Every structure is written in structure tokens, then in C-alpha cells.
Amino acid sequence: MCGINGIFHFEKSKPRDSEIQKMNETLRHRGPDASGIFSEKEIELGHQRLSIIDVSESANQPMKSADGNLILVFNGEIYNYKEVRSQLTEYSFKTESDTEVVLAAFQKWGENALRIFNGIFAFAVWNKTKKELFIARDRMGVKPLYYFADNDVFVFSSSLKSILSTGRSSAKISKAGLIDYLRYQTVHAPQTIVEDIHVLMPGHFIRISEEEGAQFKSYWSVTKNIQPAKYKSAEEVQKMIRTQLYKSVEMQLVADVPFGAFLSGGIDSSLMVAIMSQVRNQKTDTFSVTFKEDQFSEKKYAEIIAKKYGTLHHEIELSVDKFRDMIPEALSYMDHPSGDGPNTYAVSKLTREEGVKMAISGLGGDELFAGYPVFRQLPELHRKKWLRSFPAYARRPFARMYKNIRGSVSAAKKAALLSLEEFDTENIYPYFRKVYMDEQIIKLVNYPNLTPDAVYEITHELVGYKTDGWNLPLLGKISVAEVSTYMQNVLLRDADQMSMAHALEVRVPFLDHELVEKIIPLADTYKNTASPKKLLTDTFSDLLPEEIYNREKMGFVLPYDVWMKNELKTFCENHLNWLKDSGYFNADELERNWNLFIKGSPAITWSRIWILVVLSNWMQQNNVK
């Protein structure tokens, strides 16, 4: 796991002194083990290395192919690199690294190598003979790849901040990005919060040359590459899941450095630890952040799993006050603003301090196996066919009345749902992830018109009528929506930027693309939502104690509401005051929302204020106007 940078210079462009060096320095925390630069007339490539496989200096980057024609910078891991290497007997390998396997495979198969790789990655290959740059990102979007382009250069990096460090970007807030952020606490790819910096979409690659410019192409899609299959029984489905998940975990345990697993005590992390203990011949190191305060701690559940599987368990007790004080530090490492992240920062920081360089995470289990409330609530709305017998104009007065009487965030969302013309997935789903409603955003920002809703557009494109995913089962459609919006643009982004702040690699076996392709198209009858992730817990009932799956989902819940009204009050007020002067926001509406929050109004919860504080902090730290 590493950080990569690059600048492709078109014909009239000239390199600037130390530009690529500055980019490397900006993301040094992602890869502190080694630093490298390759430069010639058309291209500059930079690399910061976190050594995981073949830690020798010979595996440092940028790396040249055996014939010297290809130059590679690579961030990620190819889990099946040994299998791929066995098919490359004609290549003269000098290292035992997966990096060199990427080079050899690309030399032999070109872009088709992407379909052979099983892993998480973002990499760039420079072809000296063709004067062509090839950049690719993994299927699920686990590893980031940002880019900036104008008539002179194409700049790419693992870090948005690294691109900003070049001074080439306008460093201006994107209108569409700001609206998206207020709606969903993030900005959905390919857009970012910055006007002229974008994200390479998961499962895509770019080919760049002087003659052709930049050409984008998809090589994998969550709906185009699914593998529908007819199973005769639930037992057959469970056998498939068991086989596939064991394979994924075992494959992802390849490393030449100390590693372990995050263990919260929830279903997903507990299952990862259970399988790791089954496939390894040695004890697994597990890491839990615990709190003295029982209402915030899952300590007892993590200990149940640690004891059952005899792990080398590390309980890192963190006081709530210490966690609160860590928040500004976590925000300073935030590469792209997000409404979440400090929790991942805390567990990554403390895990890395124990000497571990790689950790297994249970991220992805909720999205694939119907773990969130949306998997129950959205089908319930679909079943209420009687609502459709009333036209939207007849429902709206009742919706407004309900909203005004209750006055809560939940009531506002339910009122909006009742007012919809259509009750299909693409129209309903976005409301389950919204932070601010559109009528609130109109009052908050100084824009007369809002930009299109990114989550609606993504969902419409992937599972709307006459798309590749339109005939998926309903729960499969929700999985596609979750994976392609919230998971990729919030959870995975936060996991990467917060863990790599401490040079800790996080691997996610649930997101093995072969498993994803098989789980999403399963019939809804197999994914019974009577209890969260019932298909998963039924499949692994022999590995998971009943205390783990027969309990209420807790998550990482801390008293932000209290902190923001007390110890973090000045911090929040200072950042909101900065936003008032920024020209982007209506100062009076910001003040009104803050006052409502302080008074405990159910219409403005802490998360709606917090995303504004995070945005202000990020803009100031990165000199974004």
C-alpha cells in the first residue's frame, strides 16, 4: 500500500522545478518506507512506499520492466499475484513483489491484465516507446485516484491534497460538489469538492497520449459483471458463500509484515476473525478500541470472539475525552471532507502503534447482506401499494401536516417520500442517505438553483428501468445503490484516508469482486431480512456465538451532540463563523441552524452541523476558496 503521483506533460508544457517532489512530500504519510521519482521529457512519476510484500529495496518504485520500456507506480495489493506470476514464465523476474507482476502482466496482456487481477489498486504505467500513460483503478474503488487536467498537463495522485500542492488547480469549491456534500456528507465520484479535480471511477482506466489526449474506459461494472445463478436450495447458496468468503480471506492474508484484524464485536468483524483463525496456523492479532463508558463500548462482545478463537487480543482503551481531543488531529489528515472518519482514524492510529502494518476489516458486509435498516424499510414502502392509489397532489397536504406537527429530520424525510410521484427504487433510495433536504439547502447556500441529485442519477443509471440492473431483485438493487454511493464515497474513502494517515493498510475481504458478483443477484428469498444479515449468520452459525448476532446493532456511537454544545462549542462556532464570511452560505440561516441545534431542536441534529464544521476546517487547511 502506497501513494502514487504523476504529471503527463503535453507538447507545450514544461516541467516545474521540484513539483513532483512536492507532491511526494504531501503524501509521505501514506508510504514512509521509501520514496522515488522517475522523470523524462513527457512524464514525471512519484512514489511513496509502504512495504507489505517483498520489503526489500529491489521492490522500490517507480519500477522498470525487465526490458526498461515500462515504468510503473503502484498503490495497492494484487492478492492473486503468485497465480498470475505462474502464467508469466517468459518474464525475467528480479523481485518477489506483486508490483513486478503487475508490470509483467501489463507487458504481456495490456489492459486485459485488469480482468485477471484480484486485488485493490490504483496504478500508472508509462510506455517509453509509445509515449503513452495508462492509469487504472480497482473494481470496487477501494484505493483512490484523483486527477486534474488542462491543455498543458494531466496530473494524477492518490491524494487530492497532493494535486492542490502543485498550484495548478483553481482551488475553488465546486457548486455541484458543495450541493452534493450538503445532501449526502460527501461528494460522489467522478466529482470532488474542488471544481477542477476529479476522481477516476472504480472499474475504469485512462489511456493518455499527445495524439489522442485522455481516453476513459470501463472494464468492470457492479451491474454488468454480476453472475446470476439458479440455486436449488438455501443450503446451496450457503455453501457458495462459505466457499467464496473463505477463499477471499485466505487470499488476502498474504503479507511479509505483521498484520491483524479490527474486532469491534459486530457480526462482520467477528466473522473475519473467525475465518482467519480457521485458515491460519498461528494465532491472530485482534484490535479493539474500547471505552470506560459502557454505553459506548462493545468491549464484552469483542472479548467473546477473542476468547472463542484464542486470538492475541489488544484492547486499546480510549477515554471519550481523549477521543474528542483527537478529532481536530483526525480532521487535519482528511484528504477530502466527509461527515465521518475520526472513528477510523482512532482505531488505525492505535493499531499502527502496536507495530501492525496491515489489518483486515469487515467493511462491506452490511451492503452485501442487507444489514442496514434501508433493506427493510424500502421494501415496506414498495409493499404499501394503497399509497399509489392516491395521486401525489392529494398526498402532499397530509405530508406537510405530518412534517409540521412532528418537526423532526425523520418526519421531513417521510413527508418527502409521501410526496413522490413514483415509489420506485431510484426515487425512494436517496432519502435514506440524505443529510440536508433540498428546501433546507436552498436556504443555506447562495445559489438560486440546485444541481441534479447525484445519488438519484447514480441509482437511476444502475438500476433504473431498462438499465443493466433493472431486473435485479429489490434487495440486490439496494445493494447496488449502497455499494455505488455511500460505501464507495463515504466508507471506503474514510477508511483509506484515515488508515493511511498512519501508514496502515486496510483490506476488505467482503468486497472481493467474485463474491460481490454472486451475492448481489441472489433472490430476495435467500436474504430474509427478519434479522440483520440473516443469510450471513445462518451460513456461519457454527462460527458465530448467538450473543454476537442476536443483539441490537450498535455501531460507533459517541456523544458528539454533547461535545458540540460544550467542549467543542468554540471549535464549531469559529468554523461556522468562517463559513458565514466565505460568500457561499447565507449567514443568517447558518446562525439560525446553529441556534436551533443549541436549543435541542429535532429539526437540526448534530450531524447536520458537523458536516459544515468539517467543510470549513478542510477549506481553511487547504486554502480552498
Of 158, 151, 171, 152, the C-alpha closest to 73 is 158
Would you state the cell numbers that stand for residue 559, as one nine-digit string?
456523544
| Three-class secondary structure of residue 67 per DSSP | coil
Would you state the cell numbers that stand for residue 209, as one nine-digit string?
497520449
- The alpha carbon dihedral of 228, 232, 237, 242 has a sign of negative
Distances (CA, A) of 357 to 81, 82, 265, 500, 613: 20, 21, 21, 10, 31
Q: Which helix (H) or strand (E) holds 317?
A: strand 312-317
Percentages helix, strand, coil for the chain (3-state, rounded to 5) are: 45, 15, 40
Which ranges constitute the DSSP H helices of 407-473? 409-418, 425-428, 438-444, 454-463
Q: Which helix (H) or strand (E) holds 149?
A: strand 146-149
| CA–centroid distance for 93 within its chain | 34
Distance separating alpha carbons of residues 114 and 117, to the nearest angstrom: 5
Distance separating alpha carbons of residues 5 and 146, to the nearest angstrom: 9
Would you state the cell numbers that stand for residue 446, as one nine-digit string?
447562495
Distance separating alpha carbons of residues 480 and 459, to the nearest angstrom: 8
Residue 624 near residue 171, CB atoms below 8 Å? yes
A 10 A CB-CB count for 569 gives 13
Listing DSSP states for 18-37 in one string gives THHHHHHHHTGGG-BSEEEE
Q: For this structure, is 572 an active site residue?
A: no
> Cis link prior to 15 (omega < 30° from 0)?
no
Residues linked to residue 123 through DSSP beta bridges, in sequence order: 74, 136
Catalytically annotated residue among 1, 2, 149, 189: 2
Instruction: Indicate which residues carry an active-site annotation.
Output: 2
